[in-house]
Each structure stands twice: as structure tokens, then as C-alpha cells.
Amino acid sequence: MIFTSPREKGDRGDLHPCYQPLWTLVGGGQFNLADSGKPISCLMPKSATHVKENVSSFQPAENKITLESGSTLNYDALVVAAGLELNYAGIDGAREALKEDAKVCSNYSPAYVLKTFPAIKSFKGGKAVFTFPPMPIKCPGAPQKIMWIANDIWKKDSSVGEYQLEFNTFLPVIFGVPKYAEGLMKLVESENVNLNRQHTLVEVDHLSSLAKFKKEDGEIYQTNYDFLHITPNQRPLGIFREDESQLTDAAGWVSVNEKSLQHSVYENVFGVGDCTSIQTSKTAAAITSQHAILCDNLNKFFNKEKLAEDYDGYTSCPLVTSQNTCIMAEFGFGGEVMESTFLNQGKNRYSMYLTKRAAIPFIYWQLMMRGLWAGPKPLKPLTNPFNWN
């Protein structure tokens, strides 16, 4: 087994993979950034050869990949799990604002997440603006989670004067699954959030504390901010956007059968996670379920057996709604609700917050990264025996 990992050109040091869902709580002041990462050397299987070099191109018709150095690797089967790219540059002035304006932050990057909590603590009133970019993005709940955490902090801080929360989203709804959108809309109403649907952030003028949004009809809406959390535009990695090998679809996502994870053209290529064309929310929870299907189908492929088409689109988004409550959204293809417990997970619950804060990180590092976790589905006969959703 050969494993390559993305890195800065020429870098041969030890990478530190991060449990990125924790960054919401890092931005909310509940964890340190260092709590979210571990050296890749302590995670790498002993049977794997780790090639510390980027892939520069794919030649799937020849069963090989080319590395940055120009050398090539041949394969019998290829698994592509490359993630996606944050495109802050797709928003005019965003990178400059994140670099120079203490009021502007973003939980999506380790370069900026440490700005979030200081910005929250420095806020003394006015307008707090939060953004949601065009889909697809990873963890679609994260853009609003930080809004609810910040709101809870500000409500309890006597030094904070009057303020207005504003959530500008590319989507026509607050969340794509109606059951969970209902609970979130109750929060929008109770907290008097100014919800602007189908508003896409296109420019930040940090010198004037001004954010500009493009509406569905092309009209520009602009607003001043006293706090701004940016969720960046997101896209496939450059290597996929420029691919000419039929590895990707027209948008640059690795094209796979969304139920078997096998490539749509090359039968010995498989894809998993954020880099793929699978029509489900791009989350760590999705990957846990996908990896079980992937392992099973890799074995079937090598044994020349028919592949299973068992992936049901399962994904999960713990929608943190305060410093200690959470709506635990679990769903599959088409927004089908797929809850793991007999509780109504569309309600704010402290137990679901504890699951987000403690249980899921433990599962990620101690089970998922060791190949011992295939998602909650095997436990559902115990945790939700009547399949109450």
C-alpha cells in the first residue's frame, strides 16, 4: 500500500492531519488549535509506504500517477481521497481583510481560525455578519454554528451593547433538510436574525468595514459590519480542475458511482470524501460510512466479485446552537432523515452537544483513523431500534 499526501512544494516534513470539525469550537474559544491535529507519522499504517510528495498528474488509462519530482508510481488500484480547495481569492478583498482586519475571521482555515475568538471577545455591539458561499462546500452547517456560539457568548457578556445578527446565505433555505431547518428557523426568529437568502459574498472592503453580496437577480446588496465571519468559496483542487484524463466530471470532481464509490470510467479507481462527485454533504461523518463501502469493494475488486452498491448517502452535521446545545442532523441522499438515536434529534439538546464535543473526536482519532469505525449504522438496532426519525 502506497500513500501520498498533499504538502507545500519541496516539503518533506511530518504533516499534522487535523480533525477539522473541531475548528468550530476552536473559533468559539472552547479548544486550542493544537487539540485538532496529530503527526501523520503516528497514524500511518505500518504496512504503508508514505511517499512525501504531491501528485502532479494522473494517467488512469496507464494505471499510473506522476509525482511533482517527475517520477511515476504504478498501481493495481487507486483510491483518491484528496479533499477540496478553499478559494478565499474568489472573494475580492477577503484575504486582505483576514490578514489586516481584526474584526474579520474564518473558522475554515488554520491560518485564520485563531482570529475568531478574539474577534468575538472584542465585539461590543453593532452588526455581526456571517456568510455561506455557493455549494458545494464541506460541512454546510459550520457557517452558522459559529453564529450561534458567538450569539450565546454576547448575550451573556454585559459589556456587549445592542447588536444585530445577519446571516447571508447562497441557499434559499437556512438548511437543506426540512426537519432540521424547522428547528433552526425557530432560532432565527427567537434571536431576531436578519436572514438574507440567496445572497453571495463577492467583496470585502475592510478599510470601510463593508461587505458586498450578489443577490439572485444580480443586484448588489452591501452592509457595514462590526464583526464578519467569512466562509470561503470552495472548489476541486487544481490538479482536478486541469485534469484531462476523464478522472473528473465537468466541474472537476472525481466522478464515481455514488453507491459503490467505483470510478465511472476506470474500474480500478475509487474515490472517497470531499473530492468526489457524490451528491451528499461533504463531512467527516460521510467519509466514515464511505470508507466501509470502499474497503469492502476494494476486496471484492481484487477477488473479481461484484461490487456492493451499499452507500446510502449517510452524512451528519452536528449543528451547534449555543455553547452547550446542538441539533444533531443525520441524513442521506435526497435529505432522507437517518437518525442514530430514538431521541428527536431536531431539538436542541445538551446530550448532542456532548456527543459533538467529546464522543465524535474520540471516535475520529481512536476508531475511524484505525479503520475500526464504519459509522453509526451497525449500532442503530440498539440506539434506535424502531427507527424513529
Distance of CA 45 to the CA centre of its chain: 25
92 found inside a domain: yes
The one catalytic residue in 105, 275, 317, 326 is 317
State the cell numbers at 29: 474559544
* Domain interval for residue 99: 86-235
173 found inside a domain: yes
Residue 30 CB contacts under 8 Å (≥ 6 apart), including other chains: 323, 357
Provide the pLDDT for residue 389. Answer: 83
Provide the pLDDT for residue 13. Answer: 47
210 found inside a domain: yes
State the cell numbers at 305: 466479485
Q: How far apart are CA 261 and CA 246, in angstroms?
A: 16
Q: Going residue by residue through the chain (389 aa), what tens digit of pLDDT does each one get? A: 565 655 444 444 455 689 999 999 999 999 999 999 999 888 888 889 999 999 999 999 999 999 999 999 999 999 999 999 999 999 999 999 999 999 999 999 999 999 999 999 999 999 999 999 999 999 999 999 999 999 999 999 999 999 999 999 999 999 999 999 999 999 999 999 999 999 999 999 999 999 999 999 999 999 999 999 999 999 999 999 999 899 999 999 999 999 999 999 999 999 999 999 999 999 999 999 999 999 999 999 999 999 999 999 999 999 999 999 999 999 999 999 999 999 999 999 999 999 999 999 999 999 999 889 999 999 999 999 988 88
State the cell numbers at 370: 484505525
Q: CB–CB of 322/152 below 8 Å?
A: yes
Helix (H, G, I), strand (E, B) or coil at 176: coil
Provide the pLDDT for residue 149. Answer: 99
120 found inside a domain: yes
Q: What is the tally of structural domains in the chain?
A: 1
Q: CB–CB of 228/105 below 8 Å?
A: yes
The one catalytic residue in 139, 275, 295, 326 is 139
264 found inside a domain: no
Q: What letter would DSSP give residue 359?
A: I
178 found inside a domain: yes
CATH number of 139's domain: 3.50.50.60
> Could you confirm whether 18 is annotated as catalytic?
no
> Could you confirm whether 317 is annotated as catalytic?
yes
Provide the pLDDT for residue 388. Answer: 86
Q: What is the dihedral of CA 376, 381, 386, 389, to 10 degrees?
A: 0
25 found inside a domain: no
148 found inside a domain: yes
Alpha helix segments (H runs only) across the chain? 23-27, 94-100, 116-122, 142-155, 178-190, 238-241, 284-302, 350-354, 360-362, 380-383
Provide the pLDDT for residue 51. Answer: 92
Helix (H, G, I), strand (E, B) or coil at 37: strand
